[in-house]
Structures are given as C-alpha cells and as structure tokens.
Structure 1
Amino acid sequence: MASETGGPVNSTTPHFWRDPRLPFIEARAIEDGRQLHYGRHAHAVFSIGAVTAGQSWYLHEDQRLRIAQGTVVLMNPGAVHACNPIEDQPWSYVMFYVDDAWFGEVQEACEGRGDSRFRPLAPVLSQASGLFRDLTGLYADLLSPDLDLLAKHEAALRFFIQVQRTLGGATPRPARPSPRVERAAAYIDAHYRSSLTLADICQAANLSEGYLIRAFEQRFHLTPHAYLVNRRIQHVQARLRKGAAIADCAQEAGFADQAHLQRAFKRHLAVTPGQYRA
C-alpha cells in the first residue's frame, strides 16, 4: 500500500509520499518553510522540485540564487545544495527524489542512444511555466486516492519525459577531477561506517592534509568530514525507507549514538528521522 504521510499539506511539518510499488520515486512537500533550515547536503539520486509559493534562497554548489513561485530547481546526484527561507518570508515547495537508473531509461527512450546510463542535466533551474504546472500536477496525481497504480506510473513517466525533452541534451560543465581526490572520496564511500581520521583518508589518497582539504572541497563542495556525514545520512535514509529502527540505523551508519544521528539528520534534511520514516 502507498505511504502517504499527511494528505493535504497544512503546516510546517514535512510530508513525504512513497509507494513500494513505485520504488523509483519519492515526493516531499511543505506549506510553510520558514522554520526549516537546511545545511549543505547532497542526495544520491536525481532531485527536482519547485517553489509553489513565496521566495527562498537556493544554494547550488558555488551559486546562491533567489528563487520564487514558479521556479523549478534541479540537482544531479551528488550536487551539493540547500534551500532556505529569506528572513521570515513564508514559502512552500514540492520535491521529487528519483532513482537515476530509472531516469536513465527514460532518457534512453527519449533520445534513442542505446545507452540507459543516467546523463546529468545541465540546468540548475527553469522558469518554464509548463514544467512547473506539470510538476505540481504530478504531485497531486501521486497523492490522489482516485488514481490507480498504473495511472500514477504513467503520470510519472509523462512528466520525466517532458523534463528530458525540455532540459536534457546539453552537457553540464565538466569537472576536472584529480584521481587522488576521487580516490579520497571513494575511500570515504567504502568506509563511511567506520570512525575515519583525516590521516586515514590522506594515506588512502596519498595526499597531504592541506592539499586534501582544499582540493576536496573544490571538487565536491564539501569538506571530507561533511562528505562523510552526508554519506552516512544517505545510508540512514535508505534504511528508514525500509522501516529500520532509528537506533539500529545510527549504529550501522557510524554515528556515535541515536542523538548524534538525530542532530545530523535534522541539520541536513530539516526533518527528524522519525518524521522521515513515518
């Protein structure tokens, strides 16, 4: 059965929608985001959303943009970002988190390349009114009790075909990765459940501490520690979606205790682990 936490959005409480029969997509909405403050973070999946009322600040890696109602925002997997209120102005939003392997198949169907690997989208935002209208329409369709599974699946496909046709095709500005910096990130990815030290990461990547900090942040827009915490949060999200106990998630992911997880999770996602799992 679908997990539609909250129905109509009518408070500062984040509302999540997910359905195990459509595992490639998750939705989130908030009506009043004035009390929600996000730290810089990244998702392991493709994310797209829209401001549905008011205005907010949109941080996307090295850009800080003021966005308003009707703006669609996009984050490729791993893109560091945060959206936060402007002073005490009310604002609301809807977000979708989409499995990039599934989206890659949509891209292949649109372009006929014979390659279903996900290709990052270049734009970080769009003012296309049709895209905004259909994004909010998809959210309504997913929550609708009057639509069956097939109708919701088709609605998701139609929307992401439109996303690809509207915003796909261009190639994002290529990064110039250092193999040793990439090796440092890969080491964190492989050992994030352990208690890592800077010396451990430097030794794995054969880099000095000073160079690692500077080059890593330039490449990933996060310090090695922030990257490590973000990776742990991603692990916890995946486990919570499967109903795991919060205390177990904290231990598995390498947090000192459940309280440490609670603080980090809310700092990253402006919601508690319990609210997310609900």
Structure 2
Amino acid sequence: MYLHSPSGQAQRNNPAPVFWRDPALPFVESRRACHSRACYRPHHHPTFSIGAVDCGTSVFTGAADGPIALHAGTLVFVPATRVHACNPTPGTAWSYQMLHLDTAWLAAIRQEYTGTAPTKAESIRIVANRASHLRFCRLNALLFSNAPPHDKEAALIEFIGDCDAEQGLRIETPSIPSHLAEQIRPALDCLLATPSTHIALDELAYLTGMSRYQVIRAFRTVTGMTPHAWQMNQRVNLARERIRGGDGFSDLAYHLGFSDQAHFQRVFKAHVGTTPGRFRS
C-alpha cells in the first residue's frame, strides 16, 4: 500500500495534498488537502470523482449557468470526461478530499445492484447534506487507515450504492449536435493517436474540413475545451497513469511532448493541483 499521510497536526499545518493508493484496490485513489490555495485549470479525467468540501468555500465551474459556490459539508459527484474545476474562493484557503474511481469498476458495481446498464449520460451532482459528508469522511478515513482491503472495498461499495440515490443539484450533460461530434472525430482521433506531437490548428482544420475558427468553436462545443487545452489535458491524464506506473519525470516530459521537465511540471501542477513528485509520493 502506498500511503503518504502525516499526523493530523502536521497535515493541518501543511497545505500540500496527501495521497492514498493500494495495489490491492487499484480501482480507487484518494487525496486530502488542508488549507490549500492551489488552483486547478478546467480539466477532465477518465475517472469518476467524488469531492468533499471540508472547510472554507470554493467555486465550482462546469455548469452552463455559471459558477456555483460550494460550502463546507458539500459533496460533488463528477462523471468521467466532464470538464470542471473546483477552486478556493479568491483570496482564501479551503480543505477538501477527493476520490477517483475507475469507471469500468464503478459500472460493474452499479450493474450488480441495478441489474441494468446506464442508458444516458450521467449528470454532475452537488449534494449539500451534512450526514452524507460525514459518511464520506468516515469512508476516506477508513481508506487511509490500516484496515484490511476487503473492509475498505465493502465500505466503498455501500457508500456508492447509497449515494446514488442522493438527488441534490444536477448539472446535465450539455446537448451536443451529433453531426458536429462526427465532424471533429478525425481531429480527436489524431490527437489521441499522437499525444506527444504538436498538431497545428491548420492540420486539424484540414482533417475536419472546417476553418480554424470553426474547429476551435466545434471543439469547445463538443469537448468543453480548445484543441490545445484538450491535448494538454490528455497529456496530463497519461502522465498521471505513467507516474503511478513508476516512469521517470524527464522521460515523461520527453515522450509526452513537453518542451522540458520544467514545462511538464508547470502544466501538471495546473491540472492536478500538485507537483508530479508529490503526486507520486
């Protein structure tokens, strides 16, 4: 088990996040951050995430109607690939916890108790319920503890099943014209196939049969990001996976197309809220 968790007092005095991972439970990762002022760029990840605001206030971006204020005791459930960010209210610090769940594992668990596969895109949910927040805190404390893996998995499955019934504020998936998604598919496929290569906007326009302006607008509509921002986000997601696998930072920077290791460090921290070294610890 990989665990970097200082004592409670030391953690309260240190705003750097701490991470929990366990090879026996490869489908879940957790973090805690206390009195943090670190900010995230709008991003998405291939995991389902559950965030908890423990102290202070933060601002959630990712809703069509604009930013949403989050207060202590709030949980945020974010499906994979939804562009979002949660940052402290300007000029303040906040404390939070975050779980990342493998989507295939989560889908299998849900199908066990519902008996059906999902039929539509899942909404982001914001749940302001103190009892649910306290339950999440107990779950995360269990994950960070030395309890047996089967106890942790059982508690996680029970929490997911119970919280799936929570309503809260729902932020629906934006409606995307199917023809637009199909039109930019060649550009997305190109970026996915060559994550380390800088693909000029001219080339993406050629692949899609659009003008450069139309490509930017179409990417924003379909993915929530510009082409360049989408590619940077994809590189960071690949870096997270490879860091967990033990890859060195200089090799990662080179193979993922960053200009140097310093550039890689800056981009990674802007998306993940911490340095690659801290993420690995």
The TM-score with structure 1 as length reference comes to 0.91
| Residue identity matched to 2:31 | R
What is the CA deviation profile of residues 10-47 of structure 1, one whole-angstrom value per residue up to 9, with x for unaligned ones? 2111111111110100011101122x011111111111
| Residue identity matched to 2:205 | C
5 Å-filtered alignment, 1:1-278, equals: 2-7=1-6, 8=8, 9-10=11-12, 11-34=14-37, 36-62=38-64, 63-113=66-116, 115=117, 120-145=121-146, 147-167=147-167, 172-173=172-173, 174-177=175-178, 178=180, 179-278=182-281
Q: Distance in 2 between matches of 1:32 and 1:98?
A: 24
Which range moves more in the overlay, 52-61 or 124-133?
Answer: 124-133
> 2:124, 2:171 within 8 Å by CA — same for their partners in 1?
no
Q: Distance in 1 between matches of 2:266 and 2:56?
A: 28
Coordinate RMSD, CA, aligned: 2.0
What is the CA deviation profile of residues 224-256 of structure 1, one whole-angstrom value per residue up to 9, with x for unaligned ones? 000000000000000001111111111121212
- Mark the runs of 5 or more structure 1 residues left unpaired by the alignment: none
Tell me the CA shift for residue 162 of structure 1. 1.7
Q: Distance in 2 between matches of 1:254 and 1:118?
A: 37
What is the CA deviation profile of residues 59-98 of structure 1, one whole-angstrom value per residue up to 9, with x for unaligned ones? 1253311110011112211111111121332311000111
Q: Distance in 2 between matches of 1:187 and 1:102?
A: 28
| Residue identity matched to 1:258 | Q
Q: Distance in 2 between matches of 1:131 and 1:69?
A: 12
Residue 258 of structure 2 aligns to a residue whose secondary structure is coil
Q: Distance in 1 between matches of 2:273 and 2:54?
A: 18
> 2:59, 2:87 within 8 Å by CA — same for their partners in 1?
yes
Q: Residues 167 and 204 from structure 1, CA distance in 2 versus in 1: closer, same or farther, beyond 3 angstroms? A: farther
Q: Distance in 1 between matches of 2:212 and 2:274?
A: 33
Q: Distance in 1 between matches of 2:260 and 2:4?
A: 27
Q: Residues 23 and 167 from structure 1, CA distance in 2 versus in 1: closer, same or farther, beyond 3 angstroms? A: farther
> 1:47, 1:74 within 8 Å by CA — same for their partners in 2?
yes
Residue 166 of structure 1 aligns to a residue whose secondary structure is coil
Q: Distance in 1 between matches of 2:151 and 2:251?
A: 36
What is the CA deviation profile of residues 192-226 of structure 1, one whole-angstrom value per residue up to 9, with x for unaligned ones? 12121112222222221110111211222211000
- Mark the runs of 5 or more structure 2 residues left unpaired by the alignment: none
What is the CA deviation profile of residues 97-136 of structure 1, one whole-angstrom value per residue up to 9, with x for unaligned ones? 11111110111112111x3x79643243111333222211
Residue 26 of structure 1 aligns to a residue whose secondary structure is strand
Q: Distance in 2 between matches of 1:65 and 1:266?
A: 23
Tell me the CA shift for residue 50 of structure 1. 0.8
Q: Residues 75 and 214 from structure 1, CA distance in 2 versus in 1: closer, same or farther, beyond 3 angstroms? A: same
In percent, how many aligned pairs have the same letter?
30
Give the paired residue count.
Answer: 272
Q: Distance in 2 between matches of 1:214 and 1:194?
A: 22
Residue 31 of structure 1 aligns to a residue whose secondary structure is strand
